[in-house]
Each structure stands twice: as structure tokens, then as C-alpha cells.
Structure 1
């Protein structure tokens, strides 16, 4: 992963896998009804990375069950299915795992959907409805207006591929119906290893950032990123639901006098 990537992006790109101690590495197949006392965590990842635009998980919606700290590891039964707005999701059953060299650990039961960012950009903003089913129960999660391609759009004169030292530039978050925050801006010189963090002034969906006067005149990558909580209208079949939406976007540019 690029050294400019923030901690928030690193977490968002993860598979929402929690590894905790469990009963001797044992696995118990459980129905959705038996997992009704668990919580769900969702993550919508929308990472437009100039270096690796097709990175695995960059445009993904994941729903993950919590892991208990005692007892055997839970695993989805074979008849569990999941859909996002009617489209099939990938089911990861979970269970005992040795990921990271830890024996006797539990891996979350989870489902995910890799969406097409270009298609979401063409389509109108809409709700995300996730439904898991088996012979015993139905679990539903509905997020209002979460199905959207998020963008930072350059505002004002000029173009975002050529920024001048000492100048301040404005970007606008879309869709404008939601307010992210706080927005983080990182500037990494071509061939550099440590990005510099820019001072950001945010007013709702509008973001202003200065290019410091001492910025080297060279090619750079500007990364803007922010997260926000979705508006949940339904969470049924489990104890609770929570999560976040994360978007970051790269601009490859030249810093000029």
C-alpha cells in the first residue's frame, strides 16, 4: 500500500476480520437465529487510488458479525445467502483461523459485495439494502442514500493537475446531500516516502487547502480522504448495527511556482 495512505484507509481496505481467542480453535456451525445476539459492523470502502486503481477491496461493501471472546468460533451454515439490493454477495463463513500466526483464533463470519464505481457514478443515489437468510431467520440492514459514488470535485479556475505554491484551492465533496469529516489532505512528492499533511479548512462539503510556499516544485500526489456514518433506517435480526463510509481520492499533479 502506498505510504501516503492514511490509517482510516488502511482500516477500510481490511476485510473486517477480528481475530480473538476462542475455545481451543474449535468451530461451531451456527444458524442466523443462533447468532441473533451478535452485532453487525458495515464498511463501505470507496478508494480511488492512482497507483493501484483496481486494488482488491477498494470499492467494496462489507458486513461482518462480531466475534465472541469465549466459546467455540462461529461459522455460517451452508444455507446462508446474502444479497445487496438483490445482487448476490460473497459469503465468508468464518470460524477457527490461524491468520497472522495466531492459533486458536476466530475469524468473523461476513459477507461482501464488490461494486462497480463507474456504474454507481452513472446511477442515481439510492438506499443500500443488505439481506442475509437461512432456514431459521432473516437479517436486514438498510442504509439511506448510501449507494452513491463519492468524489472530491475541484472548484474554481485552473485544473487540479497543476497547483501553485502559496495558493489556496477548493474542492467539493459529492454527493452534496451528506457532510463528511473531518477531511484529511496529504501531499506526497514523487519518489518520496513520507507525505506531508496539509492544513484543511472545511465548511460542510467545501474543503479549502493551501499549498505551502516551501513545497518543492515537482510532481506530487494529493490524497483527500474522509469518512462518515451512514443513515440507518433498519437493522433487524441482530442485536445492533454500526459502521462507516470511507472515501479517498488521489490527484496526480505538478506543483509549480
Structure 2
């Protein structure tokens, strides 16, 4: 799984849960064993939905991706999917990453997670109704099934109130709604980076359910800026079979290119 490269303003993105999906963890002597899904049934399955609307690189690899990943064990060996493993998300094929021993960073005894991912079209998801995400992995020995309730949705922050999000005034407060409105993420974080600047400023955020209100500080330079808002929430598992446990998170961040005016 390749996530978008972080920019100086992307420190708002709490991608630790997503990064854990490709963790390199010590294993038994760097040994790789081809394992069936039945042999992997005592491991946990972690999922992550990344929904990153980056103004600089809107089509960055991994920006709009759902990933499921098997845990690795300290005792080893490193698991590798068998050749007959298949994976689908709502009936559509997922990309498999077999996993196994890795020498990334010179760690000869590290395991790379066995995993599968699906790159979704954010425009299509925005047009389609909110649905459950159903992931199914299958081979000759077993079927693994994960259902994340109401997870198939295009998340967004929608500007509220008077004016437009491309022109914000110094010293005023502005509200944004997280959608789908049925979800309550959080906490919401916000960064404001001046065009050509090196360090983003952390904005004060007041949150009431799915509504986040930001304040533009009085000392903010009157210039072009990028506002980045981001939040995550725990995914709700409706079904988890064929593995020991399932858990994961949904993350969304969104850029607004704007001018700060007096």
C-alpha cells in the first residue's frame, strides 16, 4: 500500500493507522512461508479507508484507497499469500500484495504484511448511494469475509454560512460540515499554510457533532493560503469471519485553496 507523500501542511493527517497496514515487523529469521487463508485464520485483519483530497496532487497514488491487511507475528514465519488467493470489494477485484520477508531499510528479518487494496473513484462514490463495504478473500481452503457498515461513501467537508470557502476574513469564524451527516468524526484538525510558506499554522477548531468551526486569527497574513481539514473515525464492523478479529479506521482530509482578506 503506497500512501500519498506528506507535504509540509499534511501534518494534520493522522495516517498512523493506515501506515500500520504495511508495518515491517520482526519475524523468525526472515523466513517466508506460503500460507493458505485457513492457516492465517488465527491472525487479525486491519482495514483502512484513505480519502485524501489534496489540491497539489489530486490523483496521488493511494489517495483514495481501501486496504485490508493481515497482522504479522513476532515468532514468524512471514506469511505470503498462496497463488490461488483472490480478493474482491463489493464484487470488484482488489489488488493483492502477497507479503513475505523484506529487507527494506536493511532489516533482513522483517515481515511485510500480506494485504489487498482497492483504489476507488471519488467522483463515482460521490454520485452513488452510501453502502456497506464487503470484502471477500477466498482460496481453496477458506473464505474470509469483512463487512464495514456504511463505509462506501465519499467524505467531504462542506462550507456553511455566508460567503465562499475561497475567501476568508481575518478574525472571523467559519463552519464546515462533515458528510455523510450520519457520521461524527474527530477530533477535526485544521492547518493553514501561506503560499510559499514553510510552516503551517494550527487553527483553533470547535466541534459540535459533525460540525467544525475554525477561527482565522487576527494576525494571519493577508495572502493566498491552503486550508487543510482532516479527521478520522473508527469503522463499524458488521461481519468478520475467517480471521481472529477485524478492526480499522476511515480517514478524510480536504484542501481549500483560498485568500485571507481583511
Q: Pick the TM interval, shorter chain.
A: over 0.9
Which of 82, 86, 101 pairs up with 1:96? 101
Question: Is 1:24 aligned to 2:24, yes or no?
Answer: no
Gapped regions of structure 1 (runs ≥ 5):
none
Q: Which residue of 2 aligns with 1:132?
A: 137
Q: TM-score, normalised by structure 2?
A: 0.96
* Deviation, structure 1 residue 6: 2.2
Deviations 1:158-209 (A, max 9, x none): 1000000001001111110111110001101111111111110000111111
- C-alpha contact (below 8 Å) 1:228/1:244 kept by paired residues: yes
**SS of structure 1 residue aligned to 2:125:** helix
| 2:87 alignment partner in structure 1 | 82
Shift in Å, 1:16: 1.8
Q: Is the 8 A contact 2:159 2:176 kept in 1?
A: yes
Instruction: Give the Å deviation of 1:138.
Output: 0.4
Instruction: Give SS of 2:22's match.
Output: coil
With the length of structure 1 as denominator, give the TM-score of the two structures: 0.97
Instruction: Indicate the SS of the match to 1:6.
Output: helix
Output aligned runs, 1:190-201, within 5 Å: 190-201=195-206
Q: Secondary structure at the match of 2:21?
A: coil
Are 2:51 and 1:69 equivalent residues in the alignment?
A: no
2: CA distance, partners of 1:152 / 1:165: 21
**2:123 alignment partner, SS class:** helix
Is structure 2 residue 244 aligned with structure 1 residue 239?
A: yes
Query: Is the alpha carbon distance of 1:62 and 1:12 closer, same or farther for their aligned partners in structure 2, counting shifts above 3 Å?
Result: same
Contact preservation (8 Å) 1:198, 1:211: yes
Equivalences, count: 257
The 1:7–1:16 alpha-carbon spacing in structure 2 relative to 1, beyond 3 Å, is: farther
Using the alignment, how far apart are the partners of 1:145 and 1:155 within structure 2? 24
Question: Alpha-carbon deviation of 1:15?
Answer: 7.6
